[in-house]
Structure 1
Amino acid sequence: MKSFISQAPATRVVFGEGAMSELQSEISRLSIGRAFFLSTAAQRETIAIARESMPDIFAGEFADAAMHTPVAVTNAALAAMREVEADGLVSIGGGSAIGLGKALALRSGIPHIAVPTTYAGSEMTSILGQTEDGVKTTMRDPAVQPATVLYDVNLTLTLPAKTSGVSGLNAIAHAVEALYAIDADPIILLMAEEGIRALAGSLPRIGKDTQDIEARSDALYGAWLCAVCLGRTTIALHHKLCHVLGGTFDLPHAETHAAVLPHAWAYNAPAVPEAAAKLRRALATDRPAQLLFDMTASFGAPTALRDLGMPKDGIDRAIELIFKNPYANPRPLEPDAIRALLEDVWAGRRPNA
């Protein structure tokens, strides 16, 4: 057994069908008297239900959360939150809403309850990514870790099949990188493999029937495991690529992760034989990169960055930013190989791995 250090941040998790019904009790448990709700427009109806059910606690709402957590949006939300003298945050939605909640928690120090409605995973991490002037930067700080996470399977039933697929592949990417993270411990390796297995088995079922509650439950369970892996390990090339591409070219978050994942894995696979064996077992295939590529295509999602809005001449800019502040990676970053990777994912070529 290799030496390791294991440290688990304390986040309370409430999981299951109807978990949203526990929101008011969780607000009270954290001694929140005036809760400020965050979302995108898609979750306004859910927030309206919360407002009606707890009018004495509901302080206000901000429904303009945006991808990649723009600093300008955070500043606007912070002003609105301070105006109503909120002493707690509730974010309902995907990575945009939860990322905004984390940014506000960092600036204000007040408790944050996250209610994820996708499989993105931000809710279980102390990672905050923020975008300003076209550059996305990331940081880790315990202050941004939500105090409580409510996983209500019912809130994922309205996710379209395509959105479910790319969101689930985004979650899988977190666990894939955890398989070869330099700081992964034995528990994380088990969680990563199980999270990948749960999502890979449930996402095709959701593609056939978005109302399959058992498949939805399995997917949310897998997403939780993958999110824990993201929160407790060092990220590498895959996430660096997605942070650069998303922040620089304003590409959609989950779709970018889904498109990049097969290629980033194919790049690193030769350097991580033990991780490769675990991923083959979790996906039940000898060619993980091709299976992940085919899964993205099966949901009708783009496999090419050009179809997500990235200009081909942006490859040079992306390479510049990747090498300007690279993340630790098991395989050294080779300029020609990184260029080939980006050209392949820009064109949507199926990897041979």
Structure 2
Amino acid sequence: MTKLEVTPGRWWHRLDDGRVQCDLCPRDCRLHEGQRGMCFVRQRVGDAMVLTTYGRSSGFCIDPIEKKPLNHFLPGSSVLSFGTAGCNLACKFCQNWDISKSREMDRLMDTASPERIAEAARAGGASSVAFTYNDPVIFAEYAMDTADACHALGLRSVAVTAGYMHAAPRREFYARMDAANVDLKGFTEGFYFQQTGAHLAPVLDTLQYLRHETDCWFEITTLLIPGHNDSDTEIDAMTRWIADHLGPDVPLHFTAFHPDYRMLDVEPTPPATLTRARAIALGNGLHHVYTGNVHDIQGGTTFCPGCHAALVRRDWYLVLDCDLDATGTCPHCGTPVAGRFDTFEGAFTRGFGRRRIPVRLSA
């Protein structure tokens, strides 16, 4: 392995029985020599932990920021996106399973240092770099170093994550993130344990930490799976919790499931389910609720929480028009709109739409 492929891992300790425990996430993997954690990319080598995917990516693309999805973070801007391999959850419904569930290092097709990534993002006209496709928690050292390189060039950093992380690394990780989209995969412990192999409480802890102890802008995404996490009761409980514990201004995205990975026997989510969920969330006081993976201009539009004027209209991921300037205030009534905004330059002139533009970084 080259220097880029293996780097010392952080957040671990030795146990009395001779094993090494990874302290990055609640998995608490305890490893003998040569063993890898559940995420597959953190490995014990000798008496220490290493990250085997540092500097290696499954590919780079230029995306619209709305594809993360982030609707209140630099609307209409572009973002350089990349991921690695592996994941610390075991979602049966994973929509990126060929990357996140990969156990083959040849899935990592491109190599790049943090500095090279930041330079490529700036050269490509991106305003930010997103750690996505698989969960950046498991390659936190690489993501954090890349975030530092981005900040040195005036770019922002974005984490797309399930939020399954211990408190100590979480503090260091989110201190470097300007924005995040957190997957809240359901709102019952049964769903989390049976369908993801994880637990709900650590994710709720991460959401409350982001809201009350950081300046990181974040939005929430829930993939609604028919018969599993889409009941009125669960959606009502989840959105009431968000309103009570996080506040009404946190944007929430309900997205449509399609059969994939180990959940091929479940039908796709009907658009009416997303519309119903959005109505419940709005009824519980949330100001910004969106639908995704369906064609729904109403569900993709940002409305003023004061006068309800349409401020950012979207068609899929294409921003049709934006009435918000860098101050983020409604021009019609002066109500502040929560988010991180900048001067809108007309994303439709870039011709993004639903496309992603592949970028090759290695020689």
TM-score normalised per structure 2? 0.31
Give 1 or 2: higher strand fraction: 2
Give 1 or 2: higher helix fraction: 1
TM-score normalised per structure 1? 0.32
